Amino acid sequence: MTIRTRFAPSPTGLLHVGNARAALFNFLFARHHGGEFLLRIEDTDKERSTQKAVDVIFDGLAWMGIEADAEPVFQSARQDRHTEVALELLEKGQAYKCFCTPEELTAMREKAMAEKRPPRYDGTWRDRDPSEAPAGAPYVVRLKAPRDGETIIKDLVQGEVRVANSEMDDLILLRSDGTPTYLHAVVVDDHDMDITHVMRGDDHLTNTFRQAMIYRAMGWNLPHFAHLPLIHGPDGAKLSKRHGAQSVVDFREEGYLPEALCNYLLRLGWGHGDAEVLSREEQIKLFDLDGVGRSPSRMDYVKLAHLNGIWMRVADDARLTDDVMQRLQGRDGVVTDDRTRARILAMMPGLKERAKTLVELADNAAFAGFTLPLTFTPKAEKLLGEDGRTVLQGVGRDLAALSDFTPETVDATLRAYAEKHEIKLGSVAQPLRAAMTGSTTSPGIDLTLAALGQDEVLARIAAVLASASTDG
């Protein structure tokens, strides 16, 4: 048997991080077992489904490196097949036509609630002859669900779960306009796509009990079910905007690498010993459902940022530079030309050591494209007082004399200046850093100066000194 999993999102909004994790788990499970991972877009809700949301899903999955093994299936294109199965159930006596009016259903619901009973359909038309209905009256097609016994699901995460059939009503398969319901369409699609394992959030568990009845009414084998615990906010409440990023788009915009997010989502609710940092190859090798816990997970944004920092430090410098350049586009006072890119690329080994997100990385790298005169932070201003300017003037002459402007020659020059004037190396480096960046942070000062280039370094020193003389 070839294991086949699927990810089946509804294109009604952004790709939520909980759905992204479900996609990842389905993908890794299929890869681990040498199976197939499929994608189905459940776009039957015509009012809420949009092409933009479909594109967001495709882009998000591609960004995360989650690739389907076949072209995506669009549920809306399969409506005739969904209807065919519902009519087959009707023909077999496993379903029936219900002619209840909206008013009757409302009265039924209100009566049940008044009697402190769950508001379920009471089976008014379950055993009645359709000929009793007024001519041309609209109807829905309902499943004739079993009323005795219980429905049992052997869930691969939750264990054996069961519900008394008396607690469930006859679910609608076809609406009065002839369109299939979501619960029915999903069963037909999973069966026809030969899905062997359905892995989704445990908020679908109630749906699974109802869908199992459709499988059994059709005489179809049930797939294996695995209901994944939901992701909560750090405080244990439902994840919301007040907690932080919720969608794949949010995490991307906030500067997280896809490998970091995937790594974090995998470890959120799944464990394998002490392993924390796992490559995609290691994820595929190790992932199986026996490591998935039953309790809800809590988003830890601090841990995610830490993990992102780890992945950034091993990421390709050119790739990080390209991302930074995109983020700097259109920023006031920053020139994003080839020269700026070359400077950032040269400094990237040092820049990425000091950042935990790509946004932070871009902020730290922006000085490479600054135009003169620079704007200084209050802390940088303090470093550019009389003593700092004296250092700049003196070391500037020494740097100007260099015929070969490399990190090595720059470092040697700064050290020689500090030794000659009997001051600490930091007393030389910090005014230089302030003059170069407008702040007090940068990669190593030797790498920073070499990346900016001799002409730019001398120009920024001159701008500080000129400003000081003007102020005076």
pLDDT at position 96 is 96
| pTM for this predicted structure | 0.91
**Domain ranges across the chain:** 78-228, 378-471
Please compute the mean of the pLDDT values over residues 54-70 and round it to a whole number.
96
Query: How far apart (Å, rounded) are the C-alpha atoms in residues 423 and 227?
Result: 65
pLDDT tens-digit readout, 427-454: 999 999 999 999 999 999 999 999 999 9
Residue where the block lists tokens 């008394």? 164
Q: To 10 degrees, what angle do helices 445-452 and 454-471 make?
A: 100
Closest CA to 430 of 446, 451, 445: 445
* Structure tokens that stand for 309 in this block: 């920092």
Class of domain 78-228: alpha beta
For residue 472, pLDDT beyond 60: no
Is 99's pLDDT higher than 70?
yes
pLDDT at 116: 81
Distance CA 215, CA 137 (A): 29
How remote is the C-alpha of 306 from its chain's centroid? 17
- pLDDT, tens digit, for every residue of 341-375? 999 999 999 999 999 999 999 999 999 999 999 99
Catalytic residue among 241, 285, 352, 382: 241
Residue from 194, 203, 221, 207 nearest 73 by CA:
194
CB 72 within 8 A of CB 8: no
Domain 378-471 sits in CATH 1.10.10.350 = yes
Rounded CA separation 363/324 (Å) = 9
* Arithmetic mean of pLDDT over the chain: 94
C-alpha pair distances (Å), 289 with each of 8, 30, 33, 227, 239: 19, 11, 11, 10, 24
| Tokens 């620079």 belong to residue | 374
Q: How far apart are CA 274 and CA 254, in angstroms?
A: 28
Alpha-carbon distance of 197 to 383, in angstroms, equals: 63
Could you read off the pLDDT of 74-90 as tens digits, one per residue?
999 999 999 999 999 99
Q: What does the pLDDT look like over 167-186, one tens digit per residue?
A: 898 999 999 999 999 999 99
Distance CA 396, CA 466 (A): 13
Q: If pLDDT is split at 50, 70 and 90, which confidence band does 471 have? A: low
Active site residue 241: yes
For residue 2, the model assigns a pLDDT of 95
Distance CA 398, CA 410 (A): 9
Dist CA 20 CA 24 (whole Å): 6
Q: What is the pLDDT of residues 209-264, one digit of tens each?
A: 999 999 999 999 999 999 999 999 888 877 777 777 688 999 999 999 999 999 99
Rounded to 10°, the helix 301-314/258-267 angle is: 130
Of 193, 215, 182, give the one whose Cα is nearest residue 40: 193
